[in-house]
Structure formats: structure tokens, C-alpha cells
Amino acid sequence: MSRHIVNTDLRGYEGPIFVSLIGRLRRALEQTNIVIDFLKIVAGKIPGFEKAIIHPQTEDKYVWFCGLVFRIPGVGEMIILIPRQEDKAKTEGSSFDRSIVVYAKGNITIHEIHDIIEVFAEAYENFLHIHTSSKGVSAN
């Protein structure tokens, strides 16, 4: 079976790629119900963020909540695929249907992927800290 995504928005990406910081990102995202606008605000402050893709689909026919596309000019790009949060009771330890994964194309390295995920996870944690303390966003 091919490791390529077949959705036309995502054609040419290869993966899934799992990096150690996925757990940190998952924990940050699970603190609230994820909202696409929050993801775009946070990602938009990170160099290389290009766009959010709503409901991308991988070759296994799974429809993800969203994908966040980051580009490193002259190197390549990556997409962080964020699954749906269907298990609010966390019966299997997580509210997500499956793991957050990364797909990439071009010559982007695992180190570059790791760095982008680390910056995004930290920025999202900071965003939640600011907004849960000052604006009343409820954390789970």
C-alpha cells in the first residue's frame, strides 16, 4: 500500500511521520474543544504557516478535523493532520479518534518537522493560558 495521501489538496505528501513532540501537541489541543479559528490564529504567528485545510482525507478514507500546512522555502512543506475529537469521555486515554500525524513533501528534515511542532505546541499552550485566564474559554 502506498504511503501517499490521495486527497487532491494533499497530493504529493508522504507519511505518516511521527515525532516525539506529537504527545505534547495532543495534550495542548485536548485542553479545550479545538476550534479552527484558534488553530489559525496560533499557526498564523509561526513563520512558514501557509493555510489550514478543513476536513482533508487520507487514503484510508479518514476525514481529519483539519490540516495545518507549513512551508520552508526552497526545502519543502509539511502538514500537521489533526483528527476529530469524538471521544469526549477519553475512554482510550484521548479525546481524539487517532494520533496527530505529520505528512511532508520536498526535502524537509525530521529536525525541521520537530522544530515546527515544538513552536506550534508552545504557542498553542501560551494561547490557551492567556485566553482561559482572561476570556473564560473553558478547559476540559
Buried b (16+ CB within 10 A) or exposed e, 22-48: bebbbebbbbbebeeebbeebbeeeeb
E strand or H helix at 103 = strand 101-106
Q: Peptide bond before 16: cis, by omega within 30 degrees of 0?
A: yes
> Half-sphere exposure (CA, 13 Å, Cβ side) for 57?
8
Q: What is the pLDDT of residue 137?
A: 47
Q: What is the pLDDT of residue 39?
A: 93
Q: What is the C-alpha to C-alpha distance for residues 103 and 108, in angstroms, rounded to an integer?
A: 10
Q: What is the pLDDT along the chain (140 residues), one digit of tens a residue?
A: 344 444 556 788 888 998 888 889 888 888 777 788 889 999 999 999 999 999 998 888 888 999 999 999 999 999 999 998 765 656 555 667 788 899 999 999 999 999 999 999 999 999 988 876 655 444 44
Cell output for 24: 505534547
Q: Is the dihedral of CA 88, 93, 17, 118 positive or negative?
A: positive
Q: What is the pLDDT of residue 91?
A: 59
What are the domain boundaries of the chain? 8-134
Instruction: Give the helix ranges, DSSP H, for the chain.
Output: 22-29, 36-43, 110-134
pTM of the model: 0.83
In angstroms, how far is CA 105 from the centroid of its own chain? Answer: 16
Q: What is the pLDDT of residue 35?
A: 83
Cell output for 110: 525530521
Q: What is the C-alpha to C-alpha distance for residues 85 and 83, in angstroms, rounded to an integer?
A: 7
One-letter amino acid for residue 99 of the chain = S
Residue with cell 477519553: 90
Q: What is the pLDDT of residue 138?
A: 46
Q: What is the pLDDT of residue 52?
A: 95
Q: What is the pLDDT of residue 60?
A: 84
